[in-house]
Amino acid sequence: MSNDINALRDVLFETLRGIKDGSVELDKAKAINDTAQTIINSAKAETDHCRVTQQLPGSGFIPAHAEDKPPALPHSAKEKEKPYVGTPIRGPLNGNSGPQARV
């Protein structure tokens, strides 16, 4: 098993599935979560250090190249905005009898 962000995600999602199906006890899940948070905090400290010193990350925990990154979550940035359909305001706008606005 590699020790990178993708492996951590795999373990966390596996744990989540185990909680849902009852195969992982809550105490064990909490211990996994606490350990994951410690690893994430360590990675944050590493990236902050790299930002301040203007160096590239060295541990490999977070991929440094675009081709190493996992695909984006579905519908994350590409989700189309849905048009707002609100309640129509009754009566004419600004004293005229034109189209009614929606709020």
pLDDT confidence band for 83 (50 / 70 / 90): low
Q: Residue 51 falls within a domain, yes or no?
A: yes
- For 53, how many CA atoms within 13 A lie in the half-sphere containing its CB? 10
**pLDDT tens digits along 38-76:** 999 998 888 888 888 888 766 777 776 545 555 555 554
Q: Residue 75 falls within a domain, yes or no?
A: no
Quote the Cα angle for 61-62-63, to 5°.
115
Containing structural domain, residue 17: 5-68
Count up the domains in the chain and report the number.
1
Enter the tokens of residue 17: 């599935």
Check residue 29 and give its pLDDT.
96
Per the document, the length of the chain is 103
Check residue 93 and give its pLDDT.
55
